Chains A and B, each alone.
Chain A
């Protein structure tokens, strides 16, 4: 039980940045294409193995409900010698940015964090395309000390103090992750699609709220604002519980960072892209890993 709690928190802490591992973080909007004066969307946010099923942890978001802790996890577990064991690594709740079509920021409403998911609502009080984004940066190290495998995460300037000089097989990974959802009230607009120039980002040629089954959509991935070649892209359609195979679509960006998808079926899709490369500079960082995920809705023709 103790191990389980600890593992759970550790998983929660790392999955935001290391989403290629089994647990995935995602946001699922109730709709992406809306009509009317000021329609609302409600959004589920969770961390799970199976895309769009609530079965592991809520995605904890600042300003959305109360922080979730497993019952009993508040008490520090006892180590074998009777002293309190060290607290498992905890991260602050994710910071959600809700961007209006004109770039101004809105707040999530009616937020709640439950056992398996967080939910919040957004009133689309401006026409055009909105972006909901959670972006994270982190620094992770793994090494061996006297044959034992260790992990560490923290700030670059603390690395020297935290990791003994005699550490073996030291790997320091600088990571960034970005998770996005786009929703459009009325006609699609472009303002929120402008890249920030940091980490891995989607630069859509086809508007992300104008995707239709049977039509090819074209996108570009950018890494720090530059076209990112050879990025692995995975797409998974909703409803995996009701089929035998994942039916993943796996693609790789070309030299211009582009890829295109011919949507086989309508539905919500989870898209993930990961870029990994060695870092050769004066810092202790040995590699960087940048990931991007989004939930895209493909309409029936």
Chain B
């Protein structure tokens, strides 16, 4: 009886064994411009208008003297909500900029970032800012916890392409 009970309890109660996850497709559009720089992109979660956690921030992490951090503030909403209080680089969040194309990111429901969510609606925000280019912010409403398969999607018009989130229990 005891032998049976323990694994069962772990399976149902422990998020560590849960395979629940959030997959995000981020499309960086190919732009026909004379001077192209890969965009800075921030992905984060909000709930009830409040910042909950950063998922990823793509910026020029390789420039000497951390010069690449100078333009982080151009992702102005993310900068105000979170960026301005951070020390860079941020472990597990700071990452290099990415080329045009579709990039798939996966976050486990047990990741620290997602664990901060309360039950109910939350939002995935994606903000992009490009040197000598524009800035764009997209938000996708989603539900927490992940009880059933969910998808959400938003489409940018200039700096971002299709952003799709898939939540799998």
Contacts and interface: CB of A to CB of B under 8 A. Distances in A.
Contacts of B65: 37
A36 B79 CA distance: 12
B76 A188 contact: no
A109 interface: no
A95 to B, nearest CB: 31
A186 B79 CA distance: 9
Contacts of A301: 77
Most chain B CB inside 10 Å of its own CB: which residue of A37, A184, A300: A37
Given A186-B85, A187-B85, A37 B80 contact: no
Q: Is the interface of B mostly helix, strand, loop or mixed?
A: helix
B70 interface: yes
Contacts of A35: 69-73, 79, 83-84
A299 to B, nearest CB: 6
A188 B84 contact: yes
A184 B70 CA distance: 13
Contacts of B69: 35-37
B66 interface: yes
A33 B79 CA distance: 9
A50 interface: no
B84 A186 contact: yes
Interface string A185-212: 0111000000000000000000000101
B32 interface: no
B67 interface: yes
A155 to B, nearest CB: 46
Most chain B CB inside 10 Å of its own CB: which residue of A35, A39, A188, A212: A35
A34 interface: yes
Interface string B51-94: 00000000000000111011111001101100111000000000
A175 B69 CA distance: 44
A188 to B, nearest CB: 7
A212 B70 CA distance: 21
Contacts of B66: 36-37
Contact of A39 (B70, B79, B80): B70
A36 B61 CA distance: 12
A39 B66 CA distance: 11
Contacts of B73: 33-35
Contact of B84 (A187, A299, A300): A187
Contacts of B83: 35
A186 B84 CA distance: 4
Contacts of B70: 34-36, 39
A35 B71 CA distance: 7
A211 to B, nearest CB: 10
A213 to B, nearest CB: 11
Interface in A28-77: 33-37, 39
A37 B65 CA distance: 8
A164 B69 CA distance: 64
A184 B72 CA distance: 14
Nearest to B72: A35
B77 to A, nearest CB: 7
A186 B70 CA distance: 10
Contacts of A299: 76, 80
A46 B10 CA distance: 70
Nearest to B87: A186
B59 to A, nearest CB: 10
Nearest to B75: A35
A212 B80 CA distance: 10
Contacts of A184: 84
A36 B72 contact: yes
Nearest to A36: B70
Interface of A: 33-37, 39, 184, 186-188, 210, 212, 299-301
Q: Which 8 A-B pairs have the closest CB atoms?
A: A36-B70, A35-B73, A35-B72, A36-B69, A187-B85, A187-B84, A37-B66, A186-B84
24 contacts: A33-B73, A33-B79, A34-B70, A34-B73, A35-B69, A35-B70, A35-B72, A35-B73, A35-B83, A35-B84, A36-B67, A36-B69, A36-B70, A36-B72, A37-B65, A37-B66, A39-B70, A186-B85, A187-B84, A187-B85, A210-B80, A212-B80, A299-B76, A301-B77
Given A35-B69, A36-B67, A37-B65, 4 more contacts: A33-B79, A35-B70, A36-B72, A187-B84
